[in-house]
Structure 1
Amino acid sequence: MTGRALFFQRLFHYWRYQWKVFQTVIDWTVALYIVLPAAAFAVYQYAEWLNGRGLLNGAAGVLGWGWLYVFSALLLCTGFIHTFLLEADHVFLVHAKHLMQKLKRYALLYSMFLSLIKWGALAVLLFPLWRQYGDCTLPAYSGMFCCLFGFHTAILAVHRHRKNSRRTFGNQAAGWLKVMVLMAGAFFMIVFAAEWYWLWPAGCILFICSAFLTWKGTETLSAFEEEVLEENRRKLSFAASVLMLSHDVQLPNGKHKGRSKPFLYPGSKHIFTKRSAYTAWKELFFKVLIRNGGYIRQLYLLTAAFTALILVLPLLVKPAVLILFAIVSRYAASLLFDRITDKPVLSGIKRDSDDYFRARNSALTVIQVICSVWCLIAAILSVLYM
């Protein structure tokens, strides 16, 4: 078997698995009453934008391209580089190391192609709005998206190197610092360099450098276990997003040999000095929450989505979005609390007691206040500076 044939085989199995998950979640009732009306509404609104109308047409006229900065920053943080490696591939590394390298290289080209399709589709969809409200030339408009594509591939390369390197504080901090520098550079290009015609060469140079560095990284298989773990996580990402609303999820396995202590581990040892049934439930929730990156990521994505809406939408709509976010954040925190405390890990303490419900309401209020204050600060800054 050649590397190309192995790549297409893994790609077929990957998308077949995602399609089966999609079929499990989206049955005919969900498709008929939710998916199809939402798709029709999106197409209708896009047609309205073409005619100078629509829900966000007035917001685009007031904000100009200010909302594009937030949306581009969110897109820069998305995406990943596939490897399509499996745990069983470790058996074939002794005799077929070149096959694994070719598989990773084809997967790299596939990931770069997906990133190109994403930014190209965004440029085409936003073209009608740019034609009405944009103040830059067509070469500068296309060069801006070419430059964003280059920054995106560079961020993907940095994330890949950070995840495959040793999990030390210095390496992780250096990786995140590089990502912040790249995002600051992308922001500078959009805001201050919209009329410069060297956006095209800048994007091409970034893409070539990031692709070359990632291509060189496929020659080594020293981070094989990390790449397999990351690929499995990406494969199950859609299924995990569906299971976010399910209570039938167990506590995270803290005995995984590849799991290192989180950065906030020392600070979570002693949360409450006074011990009681009330503080025991709260301590259990906050300790598991801050030690599990998946739970933090769910709250982060929810907060980031509403923050982007608050920054983009007009002033009169911001209070309604803040109230909606306060309700949604409390509901999401309640799902996490019930999921974490689902198992009888605290012996002798009943879940139907008054202490449990007091601890639940207190923990939910803390999460709700933190998220609401963050979005309130974002709303105030958007009113003052946008």
Structure 2
Amino acid sequence: MEKQMANWRIGTLFRRRLSRFWSEQWKVWRTALDWTVWVYFILPLLWIGGGTYVDLWHHPADWLVKLPLWTGERLPLVVIFVGRLRTFTEEADVLFLLQKQSWGRGLLRRGAVYTALMLLVLTALVYVLLFPFFLAVHHFPASAIIAMVLYTWMWAMIGAMGRNIIEARFIGFRKWAMKTAAMLLLAATYLIPMIVLGTSPLDLLVPILAGAVAAVLLLRLKLRARDAFESDVQQEQLARLASTQLLLRNVIRRKPRVKLSRPILLRRSNRIFKKFDGETILGEMIIKAFIRRLPLVRTWLIFIFLSAAAVLLSPGVIKPFVAVALMLLLSSWVISHWRGMTAEPYFKQFRWTDAALRDSAKRVRFWLVVPAAALFGLIDGMQTYGPGGFVAIVPGVLIWLLICNLVSSTMLLRTERKEEEA
């Protein structure tokens, strides 16, 4: 056993894992790219795309000429945002690589070199596709293109290692927030030097050197990081299965994940109303269920804001009528939510009286529409009377209370008749 281990080197282990990775990727793509796909899709696409590329090089289209220069300078941001540090870590490494730290660091260094080479190829490919824009239209010198490639490559390495470190150190909302902040910071630090300094080699020399120093520091930070093994294993599994997930994303039906999370509002089951009769308890439960469901609240807010804009833009004579119509429209949606909730098995197991159902619907309608009524009254009053129109909130609420008392009984009576006929 010791003799076999002596024949192993970290370079040998890395080469075996690298060759196995590409062998797996080839097997995956070979199942999808048969001769029919090559003949009918890939080869015609390459023929048409290559001809279009050559034509744009010799005869740039009008739309390409009219594009501003900053369009081409920002497209390479894609490389910076998609880069992923490859560590080639596997679950079985916990048995020996964590004990031989020199092997773990050696594997990580080789993974970083492999990542750098792949990002360099991807960066060069992006700029090759942009050659008609930079060379044929804007006549950039070759030295400027090389400087931009190196500059983008450095920032792609920074992004890949930074995302890897964030994945290992943060979880949940903090990880999302840190990744978003890192993405914005990368975009800002990448674009500002090109805008302020320029794109010539001398202009980008200092940013390239600064990016190289930052990449080396991030690599040293990654080499010294602890408790990153599980994160590296998960990210490697995602990298190995990326092609499979891409090909099978519309084939396999995914079971919906049951995600349990505490609501943002009303996290505790405290009472909203003081009464303990049936209609109050039922209305309170339905209102709580509405407020705790973020998609419903989002739709509710969007409708109110759009309706407020409609009231704001309406002529003064018809403002009250527009407000009343929008309140009735919102109340019909609220009533549909009430019907759906009362049809749930949990609510149907209780024997609610007709009066309790009717009064609970009235309560739900009033409290979920009254904010819109107050906002409409405020808009109408402020536009008509100026700052003193703030008190128009009270008439708006009173008008909605009157409408709620007059209309709800008729709508619910129609619902009860439909249920009896069914």
Tell me which interval the TM-score lies in, with the shorter structure as reference length: 0.5 to 0.7
Amino acid at match of 2:218: L
Q: 2:19 aligns with which of 12, 27, 30?
A: 12
1:12–1:195 Cα change, 3 Å: closer
Deviations 1:59-98 (A, max 9, x none): 2101143432442222221120101111111111354332
1:307 match: none
Unaligned runs of 5+ in 1: 256-260, 288-345, 348-386
Residue deviations 1:99-140 (CA, integer Å, cap 9, x gap): 122111101111011111222233344334322221655433
Q: Tell me what 1:182 maps to.
A: 186
Contact residue 144 and residue 199 of structure 2 kept, 8 A:
yes
* TM-aligned CA deviation for residue 9 of structure 1: 0.6
Alignment partner of 1:41 out of 42, 48, 65: 48
Whether 2:55 is the aligned partner of 1:51: answer no
Aligned counterpart for 1:63 among listed residues 59, 63, 67: 67
Task: Give 1:367's aligned residue.
Answer: none
Task: Please point out which of 110, 114, 124 is paired with 1:110.
Answer: 114
Letter in 2 for 1:117: V
Residue 93 and residue 130 in structure 1: after superposition, are their counterparts in 2 closer, same or farther (change >3 A)? closer
CA contact (8 A) 1:64 1:134 kept: no
Unmatched 5+ residue regions in structure 2?
1-7, 268-284, 297-343, 346-422
Separation in structure 1 between the aligned mates of residue 76 and residue 124 of structure 2, nearest angstrom: 13
| Cα separation, partners in 2 of 1:269 and 1:157, compared to 1, 3 Å | farther
One-letter identity of the residue aligned with 1:46: Y
1:9-49 deviations in Å (ceiling 9; x for gaps):
10001111111110111111111111111111121112212
TM normalised by structure 1 equals 0.62
Rounded to whole Å, the distance in 2 between the matches of 1:224 and 1:137 is: 45
1:144 aligns with 2:148: yes
CA displacement 1:252-287 (0-9 Å, x = unmatched)? 6669xxxxx88xx635999x9599xxx9xxx9xx89
Equivalent residue for 1:90, pick from 87, 94, 98: 94
In structure 2, the CA distance between the partners of 1:93 and 1:151, relative to structure 1 (3 Å rule), is: closer
What aligned pairs does 1:360-375 form with structure 2 within 5 A after superposition? none
Q: Distance in 2 between matches of 1:236 and 1:268?
A: 38
Which residue pairs with 1:155 in the alignment?
159
Q: 1:37/1:274 Cα in 2 relative to 1: closer, same or farther (>3 Å)?
A: farther
More helix by share: 2
Structure 2 distance, partners of 1:151, 1:185, is: 9
Q: Give matches, 1:196-275, under 5 Å.
A: 197-246=202-251, 248-251=252-255, 266=263, 273=286
In the comparison of the two structures, how many residue pairs are matched? 272
Amino acid at match of 2:249: M
After superposing on structure 2, the runs of 4+ consecutive aligned residues of structure 1 that deviate more than 6 Å are none
TM-score by length of 2: 0.57
Q: Which structure's CA Rg is the greater one?
A: 2
Q: What amino acid does structure 1 have at the position aligned with 2:189? A: G
Relative contact order (C-alpha < 8 Å, sep 6+): which is higher? 1
User: Kindly tell me: are residues 72 and 94 of structure 1, through their superposed partners in 2, closer, same or farther at Cα, counting changes over 3 Å?
Assistant: closer
Which range moves more in the overlay, 229-238 or 95-104?
95-104
Contact residue 3 and residue 99 of structure 1 kept, 8 A: yes
Determine the C-alpha separation between the residues in 2 that align with 1:48 and 1:138: 20
Identity of aligned residues (%): 20
**CA deviation after TM superposition for structure 1 residue 202, in Å:** 1.1
